[in-house]
Amino acid sequence: MLAFTILVGVMTLFKPYTTVADSALFFGLFMIFSNLFRYMRVSFYIGNMLVYAVVLGAAFFHLWTIEGATNKNTSTYWIRSQQPKKKKGSGNVNFFYAITLAYGFAHILAVIDLIYAHRRYHYDAAHPEFIGLNLKMSNS
């Protein structure tokens, strides 16, 4: 089941523009492994990056497409020979693309952290004498 979850996460990564449905499937399967959450190292950063990307992604998409498509002064242009030109969005497409990169980076961290947590869980199960020890490398 972990291999399937990781493959879904990797397939979500390789889509050019991921959708909420792709992320929902991956993080829905991600929740099955709740026993691994205590072994995850960067879950705080993953959560913050996803919230950041979702909030700013919606705002940048609105600026890029919807805000620029509305024309405020259409009532003054009722001459047939002179049609109003639709202005382009005030946001740049590169802003929206940068947010999808941040969103993808959060997915990469989630997949890598899930793999690390699974490996650490099985290492601690095989070697219970090392649980809680702060091991350091020696220079001998």
Question: Is the residue at 44 inside a domain?
Answer: yes
pLDDT digits (tens, 9 = 90+) for 40-64: 999 999 999 999 998 988 888 777 7
Question: Is the residue at 129 inside a domain?
Answer: no
Report the domain count for the chain. 1
pLDDT digits (tens, 9 = 90+) for 63-116: 777 765 554 554 444 455 555 555 555 667 788 788 888 988 999 999 999 999
Question: Is the residue at 132 inside a domain?
Answer: no
Question: Is the residue at 74 inside a domain?
Answer: no
Question: Is the residue at 27 inside a domain?
Answer: yes
Question: Is the residue at 135 inside a domain?
Answer: no
Q: Which pair of tokens denotes residue 54?
A: 């979702």
Residue 115: partners with Cβ closer than 8 Å, 6 or more residues away: 6
Question: Is the residue at 78 inside a domain?
Answer: no
Question: Is the residue at 93 inside a domain?
Answer: yes
Which structural domain, as residue segments, surrounds residue 23? Answer: 2-69+84-123
Entry pTM: 0.74
b or e along 52-83 (b: 16 or more beta carbons within 10 Å of the residue's beta carbon)? ebeebbeebbebbeeeeeeeeeeeeeeeeeee
